[in-house]
Amino acid sequence: MHLTGFSHLREQLRDTSARWASRSVADRLAIIRKFRRLLARRSELIASKIQFRPLADTMAAEILPLLDAARFLEREAHALLRPRRVGCKGRPLLLAGTRAVIQRRPLGAVLILAPSNYPLFLTGCQMLQAITAGNAVAVKPAPGQTGCVAALSELLSSAGVPPGLIRILEDTDSAGEAAVRAGFDHIILTGAASTGRRVARLAAETLTPLTLELSGNDAVFVMPGADLEHVARSLAFGMRLNGGATCIAPHRVFIAETMAQEMEARLLRHLAKLRVPKPNPPVSAILANLTVEAVADGASARDIGGVTFLTNANPHMALLRADVFAPWLALIPSRSMAEAVRSDLACPYALGASLFGPEAACRKLASDLRAGSIVINDLIAPTADPRLPFGGTGESGYGSTRGAEGLLTLTRPVTISVRRGPWPRLHLRSPGSGDGRRLAGVARWLNFF
């Protein structure tokens, strides 16, 4: 499909969105509820579309969180999307008699550039939020993942989504680029930072707003008093989950110098139990080259359980400042947690972070971090809570998906103000010679306290 074809598709989706948005939020949520029940009944069949991981992992990492995301919308979306009346409190005196309401209206045609690592959960959440808000959706699947997106679309169609509300594009890079150039009303991208920069440049030509959920290089802070066995088990889980191909997988582990040796021993025991598959050849080559550089810079490295494990790493190594979507873990001995935080803040990525140790100390340290999703005494799993927004900053992108914030991102606020009663419209008067002095007096009087 050429650019003109995508422009025509965009207009079709806008028309479809207008009809869809005319239906009540309750009607839309009834369809979301039917979708959830259908997904629950057909969960094994849908999960089997994923061939690169065990069925149990897909159920836990994708199907169950997607069901939770649908239920969240059923419970919360009506209140979030309903018009909000603005009361009299705080209204400027000169606007006496004015009543206002804030509406949340859909954006229209939303383009989703879907990821490859969690093609059901991440793509599904974004699709559900977009259509709940009243939008129509075009989805460009990741290469090889068209079947997953089609399965979600078919379930939504069976649940009652009208024809044409969801359109699936080819899974090629050229299709994605042409769709971005067409100027949709919003674009959601989940992908690498390099992809985010390319999409942002193209989207700027049409002033298309973006939500960019990009790469991570997540930090882990092991505080004095942390349960090191629990930390080791958690880090091993982070490496095993999806073969390390998780945007908030742990990578940079900051720990006090006095604790590093014991942490290394415990990690070695747990990593040895893993059988993490190798990433694709291009990613494996990048990881290998950066590992060689790190070793030349003083680190020790070994492959254990399929994980590239570095010890005696330092935060200035290129690997610790890159977005390598692969199972690797670096232990960074630090003289203090303050030093560790400074090192983390120098990293261009700020998506997620995990802290282990006494809760009060972890909470205090968390206030100094840039990451968008911070977990204390656990990692990754709590971020799947559908009530929570998800997003990062810096090279990790901007904007939020999921939660109330993700839903409202896919709407635009419209204000309607009504002036009632006999209150004078002073702004309609022709200005007099003494008005400036009088208004200055009003300003002083209104702002005396």
Where are the domains positioned within the chain? 3-215+398-412, 218-350+352-386
Summarised one tens digit per residue, pLDDT across range 367-381 is 999 999 999 999 999
Is the predicted pLDDT of residue 449 greater than 90, yes or no?
Answer: no
- C-alpha Rg value of the chain to the nearest Å: 25
Among 219, 207, 196, smallest CA distance to 356 is for: 219
CATH number of 218-350+352-386: 3.40.309.10
> Confidence class of residue 438 from pLDDT cuts 50, 70 and 90?
confident
Q: What would the pLDDT profile of 227-245 be if each residue is shown by its tens digit?
A: 999 999 999 999 999 999 9
Between the two ends of the chain, the Cα-to-Cα distance in Å is: 63
pLDDT reported for residue 428: 74
CA distance 363 to 382: 16
CA distance 383 to 398: 17
Tell me, what's the pLDDT at 305?
96
- Tens-place pLDDT, residues 384-425: 999 999 999 999 999 999 999 999 999 999 999 998 887 777
pLDDT tens sequence across 19-44: 999 999 999 999 999 999 999 999 99
Give 98-133 pLDDT, tens digit per residue: 999 999 999 999 999 999 999 999 999 999 999 999
- 186-190 vs 218-222, strand pairing mode: unpaired
Q: Which two tokens stand for residue 161?
A: 């989504």
Which residue in 213, 257, 359, 395 is the catalytic one? 213
Give the pLDDT of residue 344.
97
Question: Who's near 255: CB < 8 A, 6+ residues apart?
Answer: 221, 222, 263, 331, 332, 333, 334
Count of CB atoms situated within 10 Å of the CB of 134: 23
Give CA–CA dist 80/390, Å, rounded. 17
331 band by pLDDT with thresholds 50, 70 and 90: very high
Do 3-215+398-412 and 218-350+352-386 agree at the fold level?
Answer: no
CATH topology of domain 3-215+398-412: Aldehyde Dehydrogenase; Chain A, domain 1 (3.40.605)
Residue 312 host element (H or E)? none
Task: Write down how long the chain is.
Answer: 449
Q: Residue 369 half-sphere exposure, CB side, CA atoms within 13 Å?
A: 26
**Looking at per-residue confidence, does 2 or 32 come out higher?**
32
- Average pLDDT of every residue of the chain: 95
CA–CA dist 127, 141 (Å, integer): 12
Q: Has 213 been annotated as catalytic? A: yes
Residue 201: how many CB atoms within 10 A of its CB?
A: 10
388, 402 contact by CB (below 8 A): yes
Residue 81 CB coordination number (10 Å): 22
Q: 1 pLDDT band (50/70/90 cuts)?
A: low
Going through 22-132 in order, the beta strands assigned E by DSSP cover 84-86, 98-106, 109-113
pLDDT, tens digit (0-9, with 9 covering 90-100), for 176-195: 999 999 999 999 999 999 99
The β-bridge relationship of strands 84-86 and 136-140 is unpaired
Is the pLDDT higher at 120 or at 441?
120
Q: Are 101 and 415 in contact (CB under 8 A)?
A: yes
Q: Is the pLDDT of residue 3 over 70?
A: no
